[in-house]
Amino acid sequence: MKDECIRVTAPARLHFGMLSFENGRQRRFGGLGLMVERPAVRLHCTASREFEVVGPLAERVRHVALNWSRWRSLDDLPPCRLEVRDAPQHHTGLGTGTQLGLAVAAGLNALLLPDEATVTPAQLAAAVGRGHRSAVGTYGFHLGGLILESGKLPGDSIGRLEHRVAVPATWQFALLRPLNDEGLSGGAEDEAFALLKDAPASTTERLGYLARHVILPAAKRRRFDEFAEGVYDYGYLAGSCYASIQGGAFAGPQLTQLVRTIREIGVRGVGQTSWGPTVFAVLPDEGAAHRFADRIRSQYSPQELSVVVTRANNSGADINCGPRK
């Protein structure tokens, strides 16, 4: 193993919104989202005489590795070299913390404990302290695709996976991120959830209907228009539950205007992923996606807005072993 390298590539996660906002319900949180190919976390794990981290987000990687070591009942950090080759910017709604954490745990398992049985999504999340609210990214790391998880019961480590559906490979997703903003995270996110008011039962019922009877069936049957409009309706309703925190269905006037601009262009499938600031637009094919991206870029400067065109990831993280380079 000393001359081999474990390479982990983990897709980014788009989160369409939580499923339940009622503190009195037995099963809390839940959510709907999907995995996309770009931007991705790319991590290389190799044997070494001592523990070292190279690349961006080094302190976070060290913290994750320490959690993994404790979970494995090790006395110290493992002797290996972890190199982050690429990672999306943190706190932009793409699930970077979860994907990076799971990539580190999966890479360390493959490098140092290759003969052990494959761990479950819940075990991998527990190893690095992820999945406290949403488990969309955790299941997406393992499976890819469109993920509906129905939330946590008391005592559950992560929410229950309800459905996983492959998304047509021809559908494209344009990711638009204002470069002067970032979403809530850490203590600010915890405080926001603590202040979040209960939503009516009818809201949870409507979100469940849109997820189970509109969005998932549309993806299965490749009905693009139904999928796109359903994603917008779901995201708008879920986002409205955060209006007291973020000022409306979307996080502030900048994102509200960006969503309005996209809809006025004629693109119906648009939403905010997690707390933002990344907004996504759903396009039927690669040509339409690049025409849309060019039009948006003509209205914003590169210093204002990042635009990335990608497609769904239906396979989850890629973990492979090869010669050290």
pLDDT band, residue 193 (cuts 50/70/90): low
Q: What is the pLDDT of residue 111?
A: 93
Give pLDDT tens digits for 49-61.
Answer: 999 999 999 999 9
Residue 8 has pLDDT above 90, yes or no: yes
Tokens for 7?
């390479």
Structure confidence at residue 113 (pLDDT): 86
The residue ranking higher by pLDDT, 130 or 277, is: 277
- Note whether 148 and 216 are within 8 A (CB): yes
- Quickly state the pLDDT bin for 231 (edges 50, 70, 90): very high
DSSP string, 38-88: EEEEEEEEEE-SS-EEESTTHHHHHHHHHHHHHHTT-SS--SEEEEEEE-P
By mean pLDDT, which of 61-65, 130-134, 211-215 is the weakest? 130-134
- What is d(CA 104, CA 65) in angstroms, rounded to the nearest whole number? 7
Q: How far apart are CA 281 and CA 298, in angstroms?
A: 16
DSSP state of 212: I
pLDDT at site 194: 59
User: What pLDDT, in 10s, does the model give residues 295-314?
Assistant: 999 999 899 999 999 999 99
Q: Give the length of the chain.
A: 325
pLDDT at 246: 86
Question: Is 101 a residue whose pLDDT tops 80?
Answer: yes
Residues above pLDDT 70, as percent of the chain: 90
pLDDT at 296: 96
- Mean pLDDT for the chain overall: 90
Can you give the pTM of this predicted structure?
Answer: 0.92
- Mean pLDDT within 172-176: 98
Q: Which two tokens stand for residue 141?
A: 């790391």
pLDDT greater at residue 27 or residue 49: 49
Q: What are phi and psi of 106, to 5 degrees?
A: -65, -40
Whole-angstrom CA distances from 241 to 37, 38, 149, 192, 229 are 29, 29, 18, 12, 19
Q: Which of 2-6, 79-83, 189-193, 286-290 has the lowest mean pLDDT?
A: 189-193
Q: Which residue has the higher pLDDT, 185 or 150?
A: 150
Share of the chain above pLDDT 90, in %: 70
Q: How confident is the model at residue 22 (pLDDT cuts 50, 70, 90)?
A: low
Tens-place pLDDT, residues 82-95 = 999 999 988 899 99
Q: Is there a contact between 80 and 6 (Cβ–Cβ < 8 Å)?
A: no
Tokens of residue 157, six digits? 């480590």
| pLDDT at position 192 over 60 | no
pLDDT of the residue at 128: 86
Plot region of 252 (φ>0 → left; ψ -120 to 50 → alpha; else → beta): left
Vertex 271 angle, CA 268 and 272, to 5°: 165
C-alpha torsion sign, points 130, 135, 137, 140: positive
Q: Once rounded to an integer, what is the mean pLDDT over residues 230-240?
A: 96
pLDDT tier for residue 196 given thresholds of 50, 70 and 90: low
Domain architecture of the chain: domains with CATH: 4-323 (3.30.230.120)
